[in-house]
Amino acid sequence: MYCSESAGNRVRAINLANGIITTLVGTGETSSTGTNTSDATLNSPLGLSYDATRNLLYVAELYGNIVRCVNLATNNVSVFAGTGSVGTTFTDGAQATSTTLSNPIGVAVDEVNNLVYIAGSFKRILVVNAATGVINSVAGTGMTSSTPTGDNGQALSAVLGTSQTGIRVDANNPNKIYFVES
């Protein structure tokens, strides 16, 4: 089992069979650098999610403004989405690594369609095609309101709250996602 240690800037692994905890990635420094699990630094990691093969672990870095991908087979760490700069405007259809993000919090993988959903403070839910690296909006206008709108309407026309946090793909219907607003 993996858990994020946001204040310690690490992702930890817990062996449930023997109770041993180890650091998977993160040196404890507050930064977003490095390309290997032994030297990579993280900046407030929060959301974690696997791909279908269980070889890739996606990590949302709240203050790093990126989503990293940890290859568990090779120990390589790479930027999957975001530039590291804060931003909430972007172009649908762009490469995820050239898109600015604002405080990514949640990440969820659709194992059937190889899609990675990202939630954060961008007043949208984003999706990245893991095969092509292309990012698009799936919900939200990028505008915010103290009274979110959009129930029973088109997701892309919905006005969401300030921040979207937890996100999950429905295991029985990968065409449906759930997210938490705050």
Q: Which token pair is 98?
A: 């050239």
Assign 9 a pLDDT band (cuts: 50, 70, 90).
very high
Name the pTM for this structure: 0.94
Q: Which domain holds residue 85?
A: 2-181
CATH assignment at residue 34: 2.120.10.30
Q: How confident is the model at residue 85 (pLDDT cuts 50, 70, 90)?
A: very high
When divided into structural domains, the chain yields a total of 1
Q: Detail the DSSP E strand segments found in the chain.
A: 2-5, 10-14, 21-25, 45-50, 56-61, 66-71, 77-81, 94-95, 106-110, 115-119, 125-129, 134-139, 164-169, 177-181
